[in-house]
Amino acid sequence: MNAPTDATEVFGRNVFSERVMRERLPRETFTALTTTIERGAPLTAEVADVVANAMKDWAIERGATHYTHWFQPLTGGTAEKHDAFISPREDGSIIMEFSGKQLTRGEPDAPSFPSGGLRSTFEARGYTAWDCTSHAFLKKDAAGNVTLCIPTAFCSYTGLALDTKTPLLRSMGAVSKQATRVLHALGHTTTTRVVSTVGPEQEYFLVDKQFYSQRLDLMVTGRTLFGAPPPKGQELEDQYFGAIKDRVSTFMRDLDVELWLMGITSKTKHNEVAPAQYENAPIFATANIAADHNQLIMETMQKVALRHNLVCLLHEKPYAGVNGSGKHNNWSLSTDDGINLLDPGTTPHDNEQFLIFLCALIQSIDKHADILRASAASAGNDLRLGGNEAPPAVVSIFLGEELTQVLMSIAKGEAVAAKNRDVLQIGVDTLPPLPKDNTDRNRTSPFAFTGDKFEFRMVGSSASISDANTVLNTIVAEALDEFATRLERADNINAEAAAIVRDVVERHGRVLFNGNSYAEEWLEEAAGRGLPNIQSTVAALNSVVTPKAVDLFGTRGVLSEQELRSRHEIQLERYAKQINVEAVSAIEMAHKQYVPAIIEYAAKLGQAVQQTAGAGVSTTVQKELLTRVNDLLHSAYSRLQILESELAKAQTVADVRKQAETYRDDVVPAMSDLREDIDRLEMLLPKDRWPVPSYTDMMFKL
């Protein structure tokens, strides 16, 4: 047993944090850098040189030999290229050097990152630029290598975004600007900046490495392409919040320490709904830092799991039939003078402010439900959304009965029921108290108000949270812009605020739904309300290149039409490639593992029939079983051939969108058909004749 870890002692030890900067930088450098971090003022070359040198000394004292510009290309993951600090001297020796230039700008020289045609049209290469709003940190690997990681944005030379961070930063600027305008119009003039805050809850599965290594599908696609349902799934609900097994809690403890060292506030850990499924959540941070930290959390989970002979599965649906994994993206807006704008507050003024920001969300989610849905689209999430314990593909908002009632009453100019009072005047009266109780809150809604923040539950577990938060910030900025203009022009602010609430409820109230979003009836009702129900990734992605989307992102300066189109293409391509890998793996497993094992077993049964008949007794059972196995084998084999031909056809489609559609419409169903037969065979064959570990092995033997 390791000694318990003192969190206060390890926390942030590997971060070039504000505290370290204050200690190590001359006062004027520190002030200049802080101004850049907070207000985006340009950084001079002198300041950059001083910061770089201090960073290098700090890193070298801690064993670092290399630095890397750490960035998030459009693969959805992260990328790094390591450079040693060494620099040659004339006498043939070296010194350790790190200049301001090396800190602020890098050239990863990596033309093979996806760019959707952007760079080939403009420039051959992209460059990385230091994002000083996210702290530099040290990464240590098991072999003892220490690398200074500098969070960076990745752009083309013409300034086009080639990553997920750049649009997120732009969207944070957009929402800050409009939220500040609204606050000023409401008379709250002390605010100069508003940040979007995010706390992502990360779900994942753990599986024993020995089982994982025997499953080609898990290794190359991250999910099981075959597997009969285990006798016990999650129906007893005994796993959720259950006692954590020792092996898993040892993993979780190591994970916590690794995360704390990097300054990540890992706080909550528990068992999730499905067997062998877990969750980790940090304390919320600014959207940008939360996105960086979430990437590090995913990476660290996978690294630490291996040390325990476990593999961490981040796929949205590793196992059919049980809960998939997502990220609950908790989102709010917070002012630089410390106010959470989605907190209803207690004074009439606070309430008014809250209602305006709440209405901005309602309007923007209804107007851009399709774009928000697209931000959570991936091949993996197609298997999760609408499945067990996951929100449907219809975007709706849960506010709770009380808050919904308040909005409705204001909109209709009625007495507010909760208090038997007269017509509630926004900005003059206080709202009736809203329950902040977590216990009975709606867990089926894709977008739920949870007392002082919203929880967006559609994001897939393997995805970067940047896209979803870029969309949230941008759509809310648009609504706030409209409201700010109205409030700025109004003679009577309170009356205008009430009018805004009325208009929003009238025009966008259809997006509010407090019932069970998992119910079939809801899908019908949603259709009646005209809410989009976009089932597949391929369809969802179309919403990012509509004139509405181009206008939204363009006006806010978040993504140009060209950037949107390139992203669209990259995502369609990624979808097609992912399904292609799945289909190739399924075919390989069928040919090399399943079919031979089944043929062998059928032969064994054939022998058994003969031998048993030779003994002069009845062979009906042996024959019956042989017939069932043989029939399924025939069916499986013909479905395998169909899959092969559908795949071959899909591979030759030239147009990206058509190709993605072909994979979705022809290849995916052919894979499911094959799986159906193979899974039925798995239930008939003896365990020791089945060539791969079963669902029971993977989910229950931990």
List C-alpha distances in Å: 603 to 591, 594, 617: 17, 14, 20
Binder among 79, 198, 297, 504 for ligand ADP (CB under 6 A): 198
Indicate which of Mg ion, ligand ADP, none lies near residue 217 (CB less than 5 to 8 Å, by partner kind).
Answer: none
Q: Which residues pair with 533 in a beta bridge?
A: 394
Q: With respect to ligand ADP, which residue has the nearer C-beta, 332 or 517?
A: 332
Q: How many helices and strands (H and E) does the chain possess?
A: 26, 17
Q: With respect to ligand ADP, which residue has the nearer C-beta, 114 or 282?
A: 282
Q: With respect to ligand ADP, which residue has the nearer C-beta, 170 or 327?
A: 327
Task: Report the residue number whose CB is nearest to Mg ion.
Answer: 328
Site string for ligand ADP, 150-189 (x = CB under 6 A): ----------------------------------------
Number of residues lying near Mg ion (CB under 5 A): 1
Part in contact with ligand ADP (CB under 6 A); list of ranges 193-201, 489-497, 584-592, 611-619: 193-201
Q: With respect to ligand ADP, which residue has the nearer C-beta, 361 or 534?
A: 361
Per rule CB under 6 A, is residue 281 in the interface with ligand ADP? yes
CB 258 within 8 A of CB 166: no
Indicate which of Mg ion, ligand ADP, none lies near residue 154 (CB less than 5 to 8 Å, by partner kind).
Answer: none
451-480 residues near ligand ADP, rule: CB under 6 A: 452-453
Per rule CB under 6 A, is residue 330 in the interface with ligand ADP? yes
Part in contact with ligand ADP (CB under 6 A); list of ranges 182-190, 191-199, 413-421, 505-513: 191-199
Q: Where are the alpha helices (DSSP H) in 308-390?
A: 348-367, 369-374, 379-384
d(CA 360, CA 406): 16
Binder among 268, 346, 492, 607 for ligand ADP (CB under 6 A): 268
Binder among 56, 328, 453, 574 for Mg ion (CB under 5 A): 328
Part in contact with ligand ADP (CB under 6 A); list of ranges 317-325, 330-338, 348-356, 570-578: 330-338
Per rule CB under 6 A, is residue 536 in the interface with ligand ADP? no
Residues 285, 291, 295, 296, CA torsion sign? negative
Q: Which residues of 626-653 are buried (b: 16+ CB within 10 A; e: fewer)?
A: beebeebbebbbebbeebbebbeebeeb
Q: Which residues of 224-261 are buried (b: 16+ CB within 10 A; e: fewer)?
A: bbbbbbbeebbeeeebbeeeeeeebebbbebbbbbbbb
Per rule CB under 6 A, is residue 347 in the interface with ligand ADP? no
Per rule CB under 6 A, is residue 199 in the interface with ligand ADP? yes
What is the chain's alpha carbon radius of gyration, rounded to the nearest angstrom?
28
Per rule CB under 6 A, is residue 283 in the interface with ligand ADP? yes
d(CA 440, CA 603): 57
Binder among 332, 381, 622, 659 for ligand ADP (CB under 6 A): 332
Residues 602, 607, 608, 614, CA torsion sign? positive
CB 435 within 8 A of CB 400: yes
Q: Tokens standing for 68?
A: 């890397």
CB 105 within 8 A of CB 127: yes
SS3 201: strand
Q: How far is the CB of 197 from ligand ADP (least distance, A)?
A: 4
Q: With respect to Mg ion, which residue has the nearer C-beta, 298 or 484?
A: 298
Q: With respect to Mg ion, which residue has the nearer C-beta, 241 or 700?
A: 241
Q: Where are the alpha helices (DSSP H) in 186-270?
A: 209-212, 216-221, 246-261
Q: Which residues bind ligand ADP (CB under 6 A)?
A: 197-199, 201, 268, 281-284, 328, 330-332, 340, 438, 452-453
